[in-house]
Structure 1
């Protein structure tokens, strides 16, 4: 991957080029360019005021993606503006990227490379670091010639070939070996994670995952509800690693609540693949909380993007609670429209606390959808089971008898292995004594 950040300069100036294609909705290119602006700021680049949106009226051109005349115009603007890098809001092929750089003499990157840089900067856990490294290596492999443009790539006489070709082949071999090694490490890490997940599933505690577009307030919601200290910054992809915390529901039960990586339009597919292991938390959850920033003008697109990514992950059929956040900042007309479009959704403000009581009540309802009403008699020697049941479900009655502890309540069917050995017939309801009739004189 090209190093487009010059360490000798305090900042690097970027000229952003958005693209509106015939198959895009009207104004979508401008929205994506605005989003690219925020993405690029997240990797520390200053933005040229001459950034612009162009329209592709016909099919994409194979050499530069856009026509040669428009390419020359953009390069002239970049040089006049003193830009160090041109960022194009489309996926460039390795050949197109190379053609741009040879034509301009500047670094030229696409949306994929910007997102990869952000992910590389934000990854913290071993799994996330490995996943990002793998995605970057797979992206870089067909682009290695960019790093060796100063060497001769002419085939020399003899078996070894030219200097540049030899070095390039060595680097390709190193990258392929690194990719193989990363995949092997990931298999081990994913296996360890699966073991941890199986242990959690054996513990009869329901789980929910917070999903949504990046910067919707997922980490802030987790912190508010559980008292966690997850980084919650006003920037895209502030956190990449899933974080699970225990949430005490009002009825006394425990819910495992997981914060996941945010989604984004045009997320590079290799990152979706690379993060499937991390996002398995979504598939394993009993239900999903789809959190949206209701104050964002692009909230409808964010809703569609998240649903599309959930579909790719095989989680589209999970029970999902739609929640619009930041009601304190939503325009009244927009709020009325969203309520009409999503009558089943909840509207909250994590900042002010509005609607959080209703949110917790819905958590309780969703957590009992798959629960079974049972009567249990547990020996006094198995108070470990009694303790687990208190955290797993809803205990209505508990009575200590000579033969053990009798419990009446509702518990998840997935924890049947825990309570089935102690099932008993329901205790018959006590009959009320009949009122004595007065004798008539």
Structure 2
């Protein structure tokens, strides 16, 4: 499989190509080709040229006609490119035909995304998920990875003619496939173990009923920057696609005193390979299991509507499409045209105007989060005996203590209390909730 990190000197110059087959797809195809360029640059590969081609029909061998394919191969050779990257998905047989024609490495959009994920994955969980997705992708493509497919591993049994009597051995590709299946099975087992561990951790959180929100959105929309601004965390936030692959959860306090766990998730992208959605469900399930979602949109993006729709499509695949969602227009400080602001408000009515860079709109966002969870907290006064200091500690840990006074042998505490712990303190309340 194509691996930039292992071949830094081999892959340096790329020709990007996208084919479309309907004139109505021209604008979106151009946008997707530009996005592919950003993905490739993320890998540190120089984009020498980008070509958008229309084909009247889809051909089985090259996607396009043989003449157009030869033209693209000649262009890549003229530019001294190391790789041709085709934005459309390629079947294994098409990939082999392109490489035979061009005598160059030829990959598709999915392989680019997989290589980015492999480069960025940090946690054991993310690395396992990447390994699984990459092996599932590479399995039907093993034939192009070997120049020794006829090599056989024949056993030599005892006695004369032992080798012949035992028949032909395994071809190398059969060995490789068997090893690939072993890797896939191992990765699946380890990912399942990770999911069980995450489930256990989630149950520990749920003991206290702390509400949970997941930040979702298109890649590079500013999700990590938003988490950093809200929580004071130091999650990597860079102007690049897929800067975040591992989920990060931070605890913050809402204006009404209620605690909230916020999780930053991996960004979505158009034409996200389905096997990546499957492989990353252990990570993305944070979105499916959250109490509500914070959907971050890049207000400066000309493709904001398509990015919005792509996120909703992926959420639907995860079973999270019906979650209560707060939509925010991030980077709003960079939108200076009043007509553009009016247009955004019409496209996304009710969306909050936010800047994770300047902090604009964050108080309003936290207020909305409090409103979403309003039925989970209430203010209450408690009279707690001093020998039950453990309950006072619980209030300080899981609620917002507004005041504390001492009267004889009792501690008088006024606090904003989550419903999850209110029952444990009910007998000490000075008035009904």
Normalising by structure 2, we get a TM-score of 0.89
Q: Report the secondary structure of 2:283's partner residue.
A: coil
- On the 8 A contact 1:14/1:87 being kept in 2, the answer is yes
8 A Cα contact 2:121 2:130, kept in partner: yes
Matched with 1:432 is none
| Maintained 8 Å contact 2:384/2:412 | yes
Alignment check: 8 A CA contact 2:315 2:321 kept: yes
**Residue of structure 1 equivalent to 2:56:** 57
Q: Does residue 88 of the first structure (1) align with residue 93 of the second (2)?
A: no
1:419 matches 2:422: yes
2:159 alignment counterpart: none
- In structure 2, relative to structure 1, the CA distance for the partners of 1:129 and 1:408 (3 Å cut) is same
Moved more, 152-161 or 249-258: 152-161
Please list the CA deviations of residues 89-124 of structure 1 after superposition, one character each: whole Å capped at 9, or x if unmatched.
111111111111122211110000000000000000
Q: Which one of 290, 296, 299 corresponds to residue 294 of structure 1?
A: 299
Tell me the equivalent position of 2:207.
Answer: 202
Q: Is the 8 A contact 2:4 2:43 kept in 1?
A: no
Distance in 2 (CA, whole Å) between partners of 1:270 and 1:405 is 57
| Residues 1:24 and 1:143: Cα distance change in structure 2 (over 3 Å) | farther
Question: Matched residues in 2 for 1:6 and 1:240: separation?
Answer: 20
Between 1:256-265 and 1:325-334, the stretch displaced more is: 325-334
Which residue in the other structure is 1:45 paired with? 45
- For 1:107-122, list aligned pairs within 5 A: 107-122=105-120
Task: Give the Cα separation in 2 of the matches to 1:312 and 1:299.
Answer: 20
Note the alpha carbon deviations across 1:226-259, whole angstroms, 9 max, x for none.
Answer: 1111111111111100001121333433221111
C-alpha change, 1:320 and 1:23, in structure 2 (3 Å) is farther
Q: CA deviation at 1:138?
A: 0.7
Give per-residue Cα distances to partners, 1:297-349, cap 9 Å, x unaligned: 11111111111111111111111100011112124222211112222110111
Contact preservation (8 Å) 1:40, 1:114:
yes
Secondary structure of 2:171 counterpart? helix
Contact 1:210 1:260 in 2 (8 A): yes
- Residue 386 of structure 1, aligned match among 392, 404, 419: 392
Q: Is the 8 A contact 1:160 1:166 kept in 2?
A: no
Decide which moves more: 234-243 or 329-338. 329-338
Of the candidates 342, 350, 368, which is equivalent to residue 344 of structure 1?
350
Match of 1:31 in 2: 31
Determine the C-alpha separation between the residues in 1 that align with 2:67 and 2:96: 18
How far apart in 2 are the matches of 1:151 and 1:119? Answer: 29
Q: Relative to 1, partners in 2 of residues 1:5 and 1:190: Cα closer, same or farther, differing over 3 Å?
A: closer
* Match of residue 183 from structure 2: 178
Segment of structure 1 superposing worse, 145-154 or 26-35: 145-154
The alpha-carbon deviation at position 394 of structure 1 amounts to: 5.6
* CA contact 2:30–2:52 (8 Å) conserved in 1: yes
The answer for unaligned runs of 5 or more in structure 1 is: 430-441
Aligned 8 A contact 2:220 2:240 in 1: yes
Over residues 34-85 of structure 1, what are the superposed CA-to-partner deviations in whole Å (9 max), with x where a residue is unaligned? 0000001111111123x21112333x22211222121111111111111111
Give the number of aligned pairs: 422
Matching residue of 1:139: 137
Q: Which moved more, 1:146-155 or 1:198-207?
A: 146-155
The separation in 2 between residues aligned to 1:53 and 1:237, in whole angstroms, is: 24
Kept in 2, the 8 Å contact 1:205–1:255? The answer is yes
Work out whether residues 375 and 424 of structure 1, in 8 Å CA contact, stay in contact via their aligned partners in 2: no
- Match of 1:314, SS state, is coil
Matched, 1:220 2:218: no
Deviation at 1:374, TM superposition (A): 6.5
| Residue ranges of structure 2 left out of the alignment (5+ in a row) | 155-162
For residue 143 of structure 1, report the CA deviation from its aligned partner. Answer: 0.5
TM-score, length basis structure 1: 0.87
- Partner of residue 97, structure 2: 99
Shift of 1:12: 1.4
Corresponding position of 1:123: 121
CA distance in 2, matches of 1:235, 1:170: 39
1:352-363 matched pairs, under 5 angstroms? 352-363=358-369
Question: CA separation of 1:3/1:277 partners in 2, compared to 1, >3 Å: closer, same or farther?
Answer: closer
**2:324 corresponds to 1:326:** no
More deviation, 126-135/195-204? 195-204
2:370 aligned with 1:364: yes
Over aligned residues, Cα RMSD in angstroms? 2.8
Contact 1:4 1:107 survives alignment (8 Å):
no
How is 1:182-331 mapped onto 2 (pairs within 5 angstroms)?
A: 182-331=187-336
Mapped partners of 1:394, 1:368: distance in 2: 14
